[in-house]
Amino acid sequence: MIVNLVVLLACQLAGEIAARGLGLPVPGPVIGMALLFAALIARPRLAQRIAPTTSALLGNLSLLFVPAGVGVVGHLDTLGRDGVALMAALLLSTVAAILAGVYVFLLVARLIGTPE
Amino acid sequence: MTPADPAEIWTYLRQDPLLWLTATLVAYALGDLAFRRSGRKPLVNPVLVAVALLAVLLRVTGTPYERYFDGAQFVHFMLGPATVALAVPLYANLKLIRSTVWPMLAALAAGSVTALVTAVAIGAAFGLRGETLLSLAPKSVTAPVALGVSETIGGAPNLTAVLVIITGITGAIVATPLLNLFRIRDWRARGLAVGVAAHGIGTARAFQVNETAGAFAGIGMGLNALLTALIAPLLAPWLVALLTG
């Protein structure tokens, strides 16, 4: 458990250092994810070792967004009189983006004959 | 030690991180319970329920957000390690991912550009202009990247932060009914599209529905952070000028 957390935190730390040091446009944790992915390919047995910790974290991923969500409630007035227009744009755009992604995925998968 | 009266206990508790950390976990547990009791109705989203409960609680007790966050930051902090942890389902689905590199990249490009262009175009059609419109452009991307992009292109990062969270919750709520309505059964396609359109909150929802969908959502989120950071500074100002000229 502790060793597993150290693995995750060390990857995140290395990611933060890389993001800042190299001025990359991607957040440290995302680079940390890439680093852990590389480590798993190099040492496949690591996956089994850290799986209990990562499953527990990812199984409750929604919880981790609650504090930021509460922060948003206090700033809902920044939407101001544009609130309706902004909500309409968010809703329609999110639906459009999901459908575009799904159908392009299925189309290309069919074109190149990728089995399900 | 003499027993303290309730007012004193409250004065102590409201200053202490323990209270708001506990409240965050309890609110989420209640949200999750409500979600299960409702027969897993997407609209009874556990994040949405928890946020609403806590917002009411903070209002009723007159607690400023900063004090709440003293306790809640321990939960918030785990977002970083959880993002790193996404590498494990990614690795577990490696074979599946290897065989779908091209569909994934094509869907990423389509979803990412659609999210940006439709948000700006619909906003413009509803009469939004300038800074507000630019703030909308990176709304589908994970918060730290979205804030950076918003600042770069001349949006308002504060407004973008709010829009990003609402987009995530919207995506988490609409994805399952929408994709069921269109009879999409491919978990790879479903997950990737939701991760691209609704970042981490969409990814969290995808993990609740299906492990493969969760893995693909994580990839979609990560790759879209990279792609939007690269294309938004080129595309968004041009698009806003074109539509509101």
Predicted-complex ipTM score: 0.90
Given a cut of 70, the residues of chain A with pLDDT beneath it are 115-116
Contacts of B229 in chain A (CB under 8 A): 25-26
At residue A115, the pLDDT reads 65
At residue A8, the pLDDT reads 97
At residue B13, the pLDDT reads 79
Inform me whether the pLDDT recorded for B180 exceeds 70: yes
Contacts of B72 in chain A (CB under 8 A): 66-67, 70
Q: What's the gap between Cα B56 and its chain centre?
A: 21
Q: How far is B5 from chain A (nearest CA, A)?
A: 30
Q: What's the gap between Cα A97 and its chain centre?
A: 17
Using a CB–CB cutoff of 8 Å, tell me whether A98 touches chain B.
Answer: yes
Query: B residues 153-172 near A, CB within 8 Å?
Result: 156, 158-159, 161-163, 165-172
CB proximity list for B156: less than 8 A, separation 6 or greater: A78, B131, B132, B135, B150
Distance CA A70, CA B81 (A): 21
Query: B residues 2-21 near A, CB within 8 Å?
Result: none
Q: What percentage of chain B reaches a pLDDT higher than 90?
A: 74
Orientation angle between helical segments A45-59 and A28-42, nearest 10 degrees: 150
Q: How far is A48 from chain B (nearest CA, A)?
A: 9
pLDDT winner (highest mean) among A53-67, B91-105, B180-194, B219-233: B180-194
Confidence of residue B17 (pLDDT cuts 50, 70, 90): confident
Q: Which of A50, A82, A109 sits opposite B128 (nearest CB)?
A: A82
Distance CA B64, CA A70 (A): 11
Q: How far is A2 from chain B (nearest CA, A)?
A: 13
At residue A116, the pLDDT reads 63
Mean pLDDT of B56-75: 92
At residue A80, the pLDDT reads 78
Mean pLDDT of B188-203: 96
Inform me whether the pLDDT recorded for B68 exceeds 80: yes
Q: Helix or strand or coil: residue B54?
A: helix
Q: Helix or strand or coil: residue A56?
A: helix
Poorest-pLDDT segment among A20-29, A58-67, B2-11, B29-38:
B2-11
Q: Which of A11, A99, A105 sits opposite B106 (nearest CB)?
A: A105
Using a CB–CB cutoff of 8 Å, tell me whether A13 touches chain B.
Answer: no
The answer to whether B51 touches A66, Cβ cutoff 8 Å, is: yes
Confidence of residue B232 (pLDDT cuts 50, 70, 90): very high
DSSP 8-state symbol, B3: P
Phi, psi of B182 (to 5 degrees): -90, 10
Mutate: best of A41, A55, A65, A92, partner B, most B CBs <10 A: A65
Arithmetic mean of pLDDT over chain B: 92
Q: Which of A63, A67, A82 sits opposite B132 (nearest CB)?
A: A82
Looking at chain B, how many residues does it have?
Answer: 245
Using a CB–CB cutoff of 8 Å, tell me whether B174 touches chain A.
Answer: yes
Q: What is the pLDDT of residues B132-158, one digit of tens each?
A: 999 999 999 988 889 889 988 999 988
Using a CB–CB cutoff of 8 Å, tell me whether A108 touches chain B.
Answer: yes
Mean pLDDT of B15-22: 89
Q: What is the pTM of this model?
A: 0.87
What tokens does A43 get? 């040492």
At residue A23, the pLDDT reads 83
Nearest CA to B116 out of B241, B231, B243, B242 is that of B231
At residue B220, the pLDDT reads 94
Distance CA B213, CA B189 (A): 8
Using a CB–CB cutoff of 8 Å, tell me whether B38 touches chain A.
Answer: no
Tell if the CB–CB gap between B136 and A95 is shorter than 8 Å. Answer: no
Confidence of residue B1 (pLDDT cuts 50, 70, 90): low
Tell if the CB–CB gap between B200 and A65 is shorter than 8 Å. Answer: yes
The answer to whether A87 touches B165, Cβ cutoff 8 Å, is: no
Query: A residues 37-66 near B, CB within 8 Å?
Result: 37, 39-41, 47, 50-51, 53-55, 57-59, 61-66
Q: Is the dihedral of CA A103, B107, B185, B97 positive or negative?
A: positive
Mean pLDDT of B232-240: 93
Confidence of residue B42 (pLDDT cuts 50, 70, 90): confident
